[in-house]
């Protein structure tokens, strides 16, 4: 059974490699907080500033697109007004059938069905829509929104109503408050669980795209970041790998510009003006703390004979050290409040954090490919 499931997962992931975008459906009645949820997951004003345009009477399409990553397409329902339930159901059916008829590129990969917890109502027509999604094998997460404004009794009532309806499949139900009322003085909740469950329901390549774009769970991004690191490190053992002796630690660091760019973009720091060129500035500056940190393993490069096996291990070692340090650095930086902080201050902060993390991982040594996987697992669990 394990082998069958592994093969199935591999087939799904192989199929997903040919998909050009991640398509998410956000649907629910008027006033359930769809735009608020979208903005909480993907960043402020996503639902307003995206290139939205009508697809049908009830659905708009928003494209979240960034260079070098799989685009995310959000299909946002305009909401169902009181008395227009039948029209809403018919339009939703036509929309889903239309997407299915357009082929793989346009099919929905996951749906968030929002229900307002304070309304204490879940109606039969909503079950019809969810069953239609199931017919097309679209995973559905029922999001109980605005839970900060609902009593426990109201939330339990909705869950009970959902359980009592004729569903063809049991769905995830997640209690969420994307933007709690200020007077309550509580933090948003349920968003991390929604991100986690959405990721689990997607093929890996699409899950990585979702994790990279969401802004809720910073630590979840390390899974994607370490994918970049592992790919670069394992490539050092490839048949066509040509070892290039590092003449200086700074030159070794400059060689990792691709990793810098990938991980910076993953943590959304590529949007900061001047960030793209900062790596070169840091690694070439004689005064930079990063260069001083690099010298602590300088002899590792100068005194290891460059044979084909050792060259792969040497290069992979440095890739992993730098990659781990960059991942932790951007993770820590992403958790800090940087509004109003100057680029010079960000540069200094980045150097200090990177030096600390570089020193933490500089004792790593890699000799074989399997060492990369073990170290990655250890890092994920740290």
pLDDT at res. 61:
85
| Residue 3, pLDDT above cutoff 70 | no
Can you tell me the distance from the alpha carbon of 334 to that of 330, in angstroms, rounded to the nearest whole number? 6
| Residue 6, pLDDT above cutoff 50 | no
Q: What percent of the chain lies above the pLDDT cut of 70?
A: 79
Higher pLDDT, 291 or 283: 283
Where residue 64 falls among pLDDT bands split at 50, 70, 90? confident
305 contacts 264 by C-beta, under 8 angstroms? no
Higher pLDDT, 97 or 45: 97
Q: Bridge-partner residues for 112, per DSSP?
A: 26, 141
| Residue 168, pLDDT above cutoff 90 | no
pLDDT at res. 288:
52
> Which of these ranges, 141-145, 235-239, 245-249, has the smallest mean pLDDT?
245-249
Where residue 189 falls among pLDDT bands split at 50, 70, 90? very high
pLDDT at res. 251:
67
Per-residue three-class SS string for the chain? CHHHHHHHHHHHHHHHCCCCCEEEEEEECCCCCHHHHHHHHHCCCHHHHCCCEECCCCEEEEEECCCCCCCEEEEEECCCCCCCHHHHHHHHHHHHHHHHHCCHHHCCCEEEEEEEHHHCCCCHHHHHHHHHHHHCCCCEEEEEECHHHCCHHHHHHHHHHHHHCCCCCCCEEEECECCCCHHHCCCCECHHHHHHHHHHCCCHHHHHHHHHHCCCCCCCHHHHHHHHHHHHHHHCCCCCCCCCCCCCHHHHHHCCHHHHHHHHHHCCHHHCCCHHHHHHHHHHCCCCHHHHHHHHHHHHHHCCCCCHHHHHHHHHHHHHHHHHHHHHHHHHHHCCCCCCCCHHHHHHHHHHHHHHHHHHHCCCCCCCHHHHHHHHHHHHCC
Instruction: Give tens-digit pLDDT for 23-38.
Output: 999 999 888 999 899 9
Most confident of 152-161, 193-202, 295-304, 305-314: 193-202
| Residue 358, pLDDT above cutoff 80 | yes
**Average pLDDT of the segment spanning 342-356:** 84
Where residue 121 falls among pLDDT bands split at 50, 70, 90? confident
| Residue 93, pLDDT above cutoff 80 | yes
pLDDT at res. 341:
78
Higher pLDDT, 138 or 306: 138
pLDDT at res. 345:
85
Where residue 44 falls among pLDDT bands split at 50, 70, 90? low
């Amino acid at each position: 059974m394990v082998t069958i499931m592994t093969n199935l997962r591999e087939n799904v992931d192989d199929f997903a490699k040919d998909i050009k975008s991640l398509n998410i459906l956000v649907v629910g009645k008027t006033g359930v907080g769809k735009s608020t949820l979208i903005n909480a997951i993907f960043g402020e004003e996503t639902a307003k500033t995206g290139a939205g345009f009508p697809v049908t009477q009830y659905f708009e399409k928003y494209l979240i697109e960034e260079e070098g990553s799989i685009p995310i397409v959000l299909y946002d329902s305009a909401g169902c007004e009181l008395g227009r339930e039948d029209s809403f159901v018919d339009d939703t059916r036509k929309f889903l059938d239309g997407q299915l008829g357009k082929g793989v590129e346009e099919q929905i990969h996951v749906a968030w069905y929002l229900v307002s917890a304070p309304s204490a109502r879940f109606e039969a027509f909503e079950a019809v829509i969810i069953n239609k999604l199931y017919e097309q094998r679209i995973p559905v997460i029922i999001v109980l929104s605005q839970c900060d404004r609902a009593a426990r009794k109201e939330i339990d009532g909705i869950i009970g109503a959902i359980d009592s309806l004729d569903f063809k499949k049991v769905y995830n139900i997640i209690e969420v408050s994307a933007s709690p009322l200020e007077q309550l003085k509580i933090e948003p909740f349920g968003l991390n669980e929604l991100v986690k469950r959405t990721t689990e329901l997607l093929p890996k390549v699409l899950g990585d795209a979702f994790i990279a774009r969401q802004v809720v769970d910073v630590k979840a991004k390390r899974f994607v970041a370490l994918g970049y690191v592992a790919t670069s490190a394992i490539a050092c053992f490839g048949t066509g790998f040509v070892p290039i002796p590092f003449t200086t630690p700074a030159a070794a660091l400059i060689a990792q510009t691709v990793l810098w760019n990938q991980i910076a973009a993953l943590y959304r720091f590529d949007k900061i003006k001047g960030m793209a060129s900062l790596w070169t500035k840091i690694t070439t500056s004689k005064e930079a703390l990063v260069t001083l940190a690099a010298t602590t393993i300088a002899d590792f490069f100068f005194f290891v004979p460059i044979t084909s096996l050792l060259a792969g291990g040497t290069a992979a070692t440095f890739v992993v050290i730098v990659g781990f340090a960059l991942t932790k650095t951007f993770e820590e930086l992403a958790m800090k409040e940087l509004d109003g902080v100057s680029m010079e201050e960000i540069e200094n902060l980045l150097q200090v954090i990177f030096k600390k993390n570089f020193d933490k991982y500089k004792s790593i040594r890699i000799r074989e490919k399997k060492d990369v996987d073990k170290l990655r697992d250890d890092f994920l669990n740290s």
